[in-house]
């Protein structure tokens, strides 16, 4: 009897395993074929989700072309990397890959370019991949066609924005032909940065408008999902509107993930009251944020660190703001782990406003970071006179523009 039961169990397991393998074989796959002139034999090609290092498929060039196959659970923005160096690659070697952007689903794709070297590099100092995006073409299924329509509609503005950003960067860092990198004209640098920021914002607005007008398309949902990381940007009512607006999106799994992101964003809605947290003063004493904020006036929290280049580069702008808006209280909150580095930076920068640092107590530090959703620095938060959070930004330039719009005096 035991032998019979054992045989039945083995048979059942065998049938289950066979069915599982068959199901995998029947799963829908994506196929990416190349038509790119100048590919080196045995060059490496691989595809992975944007902002991820999890490879979805990998292959090598054979007879001047490659074919990649794999599976995705839901449509996603992907990067096709092509590298002519020998595999396996040294660390960070992917930074010099040629990259093609595509919106990937389980469908057939063809990537073409007149010359391999014309495809944009993943990273090139003093340049932008956007400027070379027209050098390749991707033909594929419905989600790729939708993504391509967005790309074609936005490309002129994206190109204009990229050129402005490069001009600002080259003036400050590019060398003598663009300016004096040792003693740049700060006023000119600020003007160029302001133009670049303005065009970037206009580009984002155009992209948002396009995506909002096409709520059923997966890439539209992806674009608006990225905004949910911007804490204190939306009111609870605006989040409700977004949930309803994208409810008919074709990407069911993407929409489920979107709802989870919305749930997190509800903890950081615009207009919520600021959270009181414990910080550390320059003389090593605990202090509550509520003891520092400006009662009946605006308060600007500036999360920074001694090692953060963009943070310290923006200090001259903050000093000017401090002079022009004397009733605005600025509180610099250092994220330094080493208090000696923090104090040294304070002496060097001579910032004439309140200086504190995150608590050295891990629990109190975590509370402060979570309360204001600090995922990067610089990170700035504007508290309104009624104690609610009016705005948050990732740059001094953006927060200063908002302060002027809020008529903060």
Q: Are 120 and 194 found together in one domain?
A: no
Instruction: Count CB atoms within 10 A of the CB of residue 337.
Output: 13
What is the predicted pLDDT for the residue at 272? 92
What is the predicted pLDDT for the residue at 181? 47
What is the predicted pLDDT for the residue at 345? 95
Write phi, then psi, for 270 (nearest 5 degrees): -65, 135
107 within some domain: yes
DSSP codes of every residue in 314-346? THHHHHHHHHH-TTSEEEEEE--S-HHHHHHHH
What is the predicted pLDDT for the residue at 398? 83
Q: How many domains does the chain have?
A: 3
Domain that includes residue 160, residue range: 146-213
| Cα 33-35-38 angle, rounded to 5 deg | 125
Q: Are 47 and 124 found together in one domain?
A: yes
327 within some domain: yes
265 within some domain: no
Tell me the C-alpha distance between 202 and 66, whole Å: 39
What is the predicted pLDDT for the residue at 291? 96
Blockwise average pLDDT, block size 10, the chain, 409 residues: 44 43 64 93 90 90 94 94 67 69 96 92 75 92 94 92 85 54 62 83 92 95 88 92 95 93 92 95 95 94 93 90 93 96 95 96 94 92 94 86 70
Domain boundary among 140, 155, 174: 140
Burial 206-245 (b: 16+ CB within 10 A, else e): bbeebbeebbebbbbbbbbbeebeebbbbeeeebeebeee
Which helix (H) or strand (E) segment holds residue 162: the answer is: helix 142-173
Tell me the C-alpha distance between 326 and 316, whole Å: 15
> Cis peptide leading into 88, omega within 30 of 0?
yes
Q: Are 131 and 83 found together in one domain?
A: yes
- 37: tokens are 């002139």
**Total length of the chain:** 409
| Phi/psi-derived region of residue 80, left when phi > 0, alpha when psi is between -120 and 50, beta in every other case | beta
- Whether 378 contacts 311, CB under 8 Å: yes
What is the predicted pLDDT for the residue at 400? 86
Q: DSSP letter at 234?
A: S
């Amino acid at each position: 009897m035991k032998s019979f039961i054992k045989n039945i169990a083995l048979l059942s397991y065998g049938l289950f395993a066979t069915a599982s393998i068959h199901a995998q074989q029947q799963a829908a796959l994506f196929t990416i074929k190349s038509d790119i002139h100048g590919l080196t034999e045995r060059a490496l090609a691989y595809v992975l989700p944007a902002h991820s290092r999890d490879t979805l498929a990998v292959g090598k060039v054979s007879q001047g072309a490659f074919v990649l196959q794999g599976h995705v659970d839901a449509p996603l923005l992907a990067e096709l990397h092509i590298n002519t160096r020998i595999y396996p690659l040294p660390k960070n070697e992917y930074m010099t890959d040629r990259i093609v952007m595509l919106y990937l689903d389980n469908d057939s794709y063809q990537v073409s370019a007149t010359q391999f070297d014309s495809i944009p590099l993943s990273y090139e100092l003093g340049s932008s991949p956007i400027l070379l995006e027209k050098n390749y073409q991707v033909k594929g299924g419905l989600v790729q066609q939708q993504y391509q329509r967005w790309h074609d509609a936005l490309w002129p503005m994206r190109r204009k924005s990229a050129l402005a950003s490069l001009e600002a960067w080259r003036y400050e860092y590019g060398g003598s032909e663009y300016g004096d990198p040792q003693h740049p004209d700060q006023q000119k640098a600020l003007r160029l940065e302001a133009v670049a920021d303005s065009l970037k914002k206009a580009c984002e607005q155009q992209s948002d408008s396009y995506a909002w007008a096409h709520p059923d398309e997966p890439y539209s949902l992806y674009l608006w999902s990225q905004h949910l990381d911007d804490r204190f940007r939306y009111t609870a009512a605006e989040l409700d509107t977004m949930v309803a607006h994208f409810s008919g999106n074709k990407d069911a799994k993407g929409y489920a993930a979107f709802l989870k992101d919305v749930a997190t964003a509800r903890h950081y809605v615009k207009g919520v009251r600021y959270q009181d947290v414990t910080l550390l003063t320059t003389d090593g004493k605990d202090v509550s944020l509520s003891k520092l904020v400006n009662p009946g006036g605006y308060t600007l929290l500036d999360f920074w660190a001694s090692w953060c280049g963009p943070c310290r580069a923006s200090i001259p702008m903050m000093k000017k703001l401090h002079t022009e808006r004397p009733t605005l209280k600025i509180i610099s909150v250092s994220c330094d782990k080493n208090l000696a580095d923090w104090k040294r930076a304070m002496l060097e920068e001579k910032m004439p406003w309140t200086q504190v640092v995150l608590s050295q107590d891990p629990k109190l530090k975590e509370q402060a970071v979570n309360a204001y959703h600090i995922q990067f620095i610089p990170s700035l938060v504007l508290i309104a006179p009624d104690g609610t959070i009016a705005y948050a930004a990732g740059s001094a330039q953006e927060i200063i523009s908002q302060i002027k719009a809020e008529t903060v005096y």
